[in-house]
Amino acid sequence: MRDLKQEYTIKGFKLSQIRRAKNGYIYEKQSNEGSVTYEVFKYVENRKYKCVSYPTEKAFGSWAWAYWNLETALRKLESINK
C-alpha cells in the first residue's frame, strides 16, 4: 500500500505532513499569504489504486476535519487513534 507524500502543493496551498499515527494524519496547510490551518483525517485505503487516500472536499465533516490551531488538531488525531 502506497502511503501519502510528506509534502504536496494543491490549488496554491502547501501541505506538509506533521504527524502520522496508526489511524490518521495531520497536515499543515499554508496559503501563499502565510495563513496556516491544520487538516486532520483518518487513514483510508483505496484498494483499487493500492494507496492511501487524501481527503476530497466531500470528506470534510465525515472522515476529515480542518482546525485553526495545532493543539485542537492533535486532540482530534488522538481521538481517531483510540
pLDDT tens digits, one per residue of 34-54 = 999 999 999 999 999 999 999
User: Which residues, at least 6 apart from 24, have a Cβ–Cβ distance to it below 8 Å?
Assistant: 40, 41, 42, 43, 77, 80, 81
Chain mean pLDDT for the chain: 96
pLDDT top residue among 35 and 1: 35
What SS3 state is found at 23? coil
CA angle 21, 75, 71 (to 5 degrees): 110
CA dihedral angle for residue 65, residue 67, residue 70, residue 72, rounded to 10 degrees: -80
pLDDT-derived band at 82 (thresholds 50, 70, 90) equals confident
List Cβ neighbours of 53 (8 Å cut-off, separation of 6 or more): 44, 45, 46
